[in-house]
Every structure is written in structure tokens, then in C-alpha cells.
Structure 1
């Protein structure tokens, strides 16, 4: 998708009747402590989506999967084999963690030890939707980061593509969300991909009376069978909305009306014979007929979801590294590396994505030398960011991949080395 199409449009909060969410969160929470927060996050998300369009859906999904387990506390970001990352709904599918690392590093450079990872997820999800052509809303802020991950809770609480509509509605109700929220938030599947393993049960041996799910359009079923043969490993992917995979629109609901939903949990919103499906079917038809109605309800449901049992005040913490709980016994900043012997910082990793390499470090340095080196790194990082901000947004990655841009970066790096 050309970057010039990644524009912020449709500020829903100005025209839709926003639902009041009673919590300690506020859209102006960082107005004094980190006034440039939204601009910094938007810049990083835009760069990530420009580099990989699919990332918009991945960041949106991370926020969803975070909020449904322990509330919106950033617990999905914590590393560890017993964490939520390795729960069945997230294993081999949750992604975008490196992008969150890059956003966190940029935010820390702007306002140190101030903004939670949970809030970064909430802002990044909103920006991802807008960058894909969807609605905007005022993100409520002030969440703090949780201290534990809950793999058991993730396995039990996150909706599954194999769940019945009754089960999905029950899981939403458990966190304070209603049927309108179920259908509106399911519309987030208008962007992103699905692995064959999540819908192949509809293609082969579906039931004793039908080998293919009868609620799946026959021509689509044939195409999916070719994409996902029974002998394959199930890791191939297709767009959840095959007609506009990376555009946030209401075509997802048009697909459901035409029996072209990819996941059984999606198609069930329109085709299920469960009693509750009468209400979900009515909403599907409403959103199919009105993009505006979908956008308004989606924005309001995102605000509600983002307010699920947040940690506020003195609860939780502000992590210095979104992947690990910050220990009070360690100096701030050490948690940017899991192993103190590893001298590669998150910022270094982010810069290496653009093929920028610093002079190798010497085995030992005095404190003064380390301070000087960090100052040089910060200056270089700021120079590169300034160049990115000044560069016109053309095709994805243009600002980093053009030969002219690379020459400018190398020239400035040589100047730094001479210092």
C-alpha cells in the first residue's frame, strides 16, 4: 500500500455519539508529562505499517488479546514460556512485539519512565485502524502495566475461531461487553490474515452429511481447498476479507451475507442457527448497509474494550522494557536488555532494521566514555528520526530504501565516526 494513502481520516469522536466509560482513564492523561506521545507513536506505527501492511492487523489483535486476559495491562507482551505469548490462541500467531519494542524505545527517548506499555498498545491499535482507512477515536489513557502474565486465562478467555456464537457472546459478557460489541469488534477482521489451520475444519470432513461447511460459498470453498490441501501443515494464509485484505471497511459484513466469511466464528454471526444469532444477524445486515454505522459502533466498542479492568494509580508499574517486569532493585534502563552481558539495546535493534551499524564496542569503557557513546547514539538516532520526518511519504519504505536517503545516512554516520 503506498504510504501516501496512510492518512488519518474520520475522527469518529466528533460525529458519533460516544459511549461514556466510567474509569480513571483520560485522553489527556499525558498532556503534561508526555505532550508529544501521540505524535511519536503515530510516527512509529506508520513506519511499521509502511514496511509491512499486515502489521496494522497484528497490532490491533495484540491490544484485543491483551485486554481479554487480566484486563488491558500489557501482560500479553511479557516474555516467558509460561506467559500469554505461548497460550494456544497466541502461539505462532501473535506478532508485532518488535514493533512495540521500537515504539517503546522512541517514547522513552521522548519522556523517560512515563508511559505504560498497555497505553502504547491502545494507541497503536487505534493508529493501525486509522492508517488502514478506518475510524479514529480518542484513546483513554492512564493504564499501568501488570506484573504477571496469565497463560491459563488466555487459553480460557480468548475467543476461538472454533467457538460457537453462544460461547463467544459469553466470553465477551465476562469482561463487560455486549452483543453489539461482539459483532462490531469482529469487524476488525476486515484487515489481516488467517492461517489454514484456523478454518480447514470447514473444508474437509465437516460433518456426516456434508464434507464442506454448507454455510461456506462453494466457489470460495474450492479456492480454499486448493490453498489448504489436507496434506499441508496448515500455516499458509489467506485474507480474512479476501476482497480488501488491508483496507478497513465494511466489506467483511458483505462477505458474511454472501456466505464468504473465512472463519466459522465469523460466518456464524450471520448463518448460525443458535437463538442468539438473530441479534447478531441483524447487526451484520446493519453494518453491511452502512459503513458509518459500523465505524461508529466499532470506535465505541474499542473504547469500552480498552477500559476493561485497567490498573491505575499506584497499581502495577511502568515497565522500562515491555517484555519484562521492571525490578525495583535494578537501575532504570537496565531492563532494555534481558541479559546484562548483552550490550545490544532495543534501539540498536530498531536501527539495524535499516542497515545502520555502529562501530563495534571495545571490551571495556570508563563511565565517561560510555556516557559519551550514549550521547552520540542519541544524537544519531535523533538525526535519523529527523530525516524520516522531513522525507516525503511515497511508496512504502521509500524514505529508507532510496539510494539518496542511504547516502545521506552514511555521510552523517561517517561524520559521527570522525568525532
Structure 2
């Protein structure tokens, strides 16, 4: 194992190599002239938020993922109900972090009025959440503009299901321009956060549609622990940590070691070991935390370029929960 200083230098070199392929529609240091303190303001606010509630790191990363996968990275996930958006995306899935994003937006507005988009704030906050929870950072380009619409009916066709198999996951990520390497790297974010029992019980109890017996890919001891925490009729209210033997507020490659022992919660996680190609990536990420960090960083930047609005497209919102027209 190299020293932490050497790891840091290696990671910086690896990330630089990965980031060189990022979308040309966005720019690094985008606000260097128009709002030079923008990224600092986001970082300071994000660090403060997570220091006061460690679970917010996972929440901000998840918001970024949901935003980019549905309509592209345009902050559509942040819009509240309105006449023009009567059923916004946020009504479909109970996500956390909206108040945190509003707090970060207010911090940015305090240094530059109506200059930095909510879409960029969400991207920077996700990047800085990785810094706080994972101990590494990377450059994130800016220049995204905020969208004008949000519709919960867009969710089902775009957000991957936790019951998906690897072939469907590959198609889902491929439709967004993300590779299988990106899929496996980004899945490491499941080292963070919590989930509801309702997403796990189908693997724990026989169901004709999914598993005629307990999911055989689950570690038997781990399955027993999960059954004790999530009884068959426990409903969806109880929450449990996303992984075994790890801090749910730390982003790390422990997730890949858990895959190797069958101690992950979702079918969409364990299925990564069922294909020879993705299984090799899992082993590689488990063996080298620094290499995984570089892959994760590159995939986050790549995801942050999905269907972005730039130039005069969209707008820069005054507040993240509403369009500037307020309609």
C-alpha cells in the first residue's frame, strides 16, 4: 500500500487522464471570471451541511444521479409543484436534500447574485460530498443551465430499478452515454446511505414473481440478519444501512468487497458479479481504492454531462425550487 501522499498524487494523475475525455460543452473553472468564489461557496456550505448531518453526503450524491438520469443535468429534480409543472419529479420518489441545496444556493447568491445555476450547484455539491465522505476530490466542469420543466412520468423509464439484472443495467446506463465501466464505478456510491426494507424483502422471502426461494446470491448469515431487521410484513418504513460492515456515511470501495461475499442489499448490486466482464471490474475496484476513486471521479464528471443545457438554453434560476417565471 502506498503512502497517503503517494495515493493522492496517483489519484490526481489518474483523474486528470480520465477527465480529459469530459464533454466539451462544459468548461472547467467556468465561473472564474463571472463568479470566482462560486465553487468555494458551494464547498464551504456543503462541508458545513454534512458536518452537521453526516447522512446528507449520500443525499446530495443521490440527488445529482436522479437529476442527470431523468431529463439530463438541468436541476429538474429540484422543481416544486406549479401551474407549468403540476406533477414534478420530486413527487415520484421521496428523496432527501432539497433543503440542503436551497441552503447552498443561498450561500452562492450571497457572493454572486443570479449567476450560478442550480444544475451546477448540484454537480459541485455532489463532487464536494465525495470529498467529505470519501476523502478525495476532483475537478467538475460547469456551464449547465437550469431547465424549465419537470414531470414525474419521466421517472420510470429513466431511473434504473434495484431489481434490474446486469444486462438491463448496462442498457440503462448506455442510453445515457455511460459505459459498463461507469456503471460499475458509480455503483460504489451504494457504500453510502440507507434504504427501506421494502426494497430488500423480495430477496428475503419467497415470491413467485421474483424468487421461489430466498435469493441464493445472498450470504446466508447476512440474509438472517436482514430478516431479523426486516420481518416479512414490516412494510417500507424501516430503514437499514446500504452495506454490511461499513459506515453508511463513508464513500469507499468496501462496497466491492461486500459484493464478493454476497453482503449487499439490491439485486442490481449483486448482479454485477454474474457477468464475467463486470465481475472483473468488481475485483479490480475491491483491490485498489485509488484506482476506483479515479474511475468514480471520471464517471461522475461524465454523468454530469448528460443532456446538459448550455449557452442561452434554459435559464439560471433565482431559487432552485421554481422557474424564474414562477408559473
- 1:120 is aligned to 121
- 1:296 is aligned to 294
- 1:86 is aligned to 91
Number of aligned pairs? 312
Superposed, which structure 2 residues align to 1:7-46 within 5 Å? 10=8, 12-16=11-15, 17-19=17-19, 20-46=21-47
* Greater gyration radius: 1
CA contact 2:244–2:264 (8 Å) conserved in 1: no
- What is the alpha-carbon distance in structure 1 between the residues aligned to residue 278 and residue 269 of structure 2? 10
Q: Does 1:252 align with 2:250?
A: no
CA contact 1:193–1:240 (8 Å) conserved in 2: yes
- What is the alpha-carbon distance in structure 2 between the residues aligned to residue 297 and residue 33 of structure 1? 31
Structure 1 residue ranges, 4+ long, deviating more than 3 angstroms after superposition: 9-16, 206-210
The alpha carbon displacement at 1:67 in A equals: 0.5
Distance 1:294 1:302, change over 3 A: same
Name structure 1 gaps, 5 residues minimum. Answer: 1-8, 328-334, 339-419
CA contact 2:197–2:234 (8 Å) conserved in 1: no
CA contact 1:70–1:150 (8 Å) conserved in 2: no
- 1:266 is aligned to 269
> Could you state the TM-score of these two structures normalised by the residue count of structure 2?
0.91
Query: What is the root-mean-square deviation of aligned Cα atoms in Å?
Result: 1.7
CA contact 2:23–2:302 (8 Å) conserved in 1: no
> Could you state the TM-score of these two structures normalised by the residue count of structure 1?
0.72
- 1:52 is aligned to 53
> Which structure is richer in relative contact order (CA contacts within 8 A, separation 6 or more)?
2
Superposed, which structure 2 residues align to 1:6-405 within 5 Å? 10=8, 12-16=11-15, 17-19=17-19, 20-80=21-81, 82-87=87-92, 91-92=93-94, 94-206=95-207, 210-244=212-246, 245-270=248-273, 272=274, 277-327=275-325
The alpha carbon displacement at 1:242 in A equals: 2.7
SS of the residue aligned with 2:156? helix
The alpha carbon displacement at 1:204 in A equals: 0.6
- What is the alpha-carbon distance in structure 1 between the residues aligned to residue 136 and residue 163 of structure 2? 28
- What is the alpha-carbon distance in structure 2 between the residues aligned to residue 309 and residue 214 of structure 1? 39
- What is the alpha-carbon distance in structure 2 between the residues aligned to residue 255 and residue 117 of structure 1? 35
- What is the alpha-carbon distance in structure 1 between the residues aligned to residue 207 and residue 260 of structure 2? 21
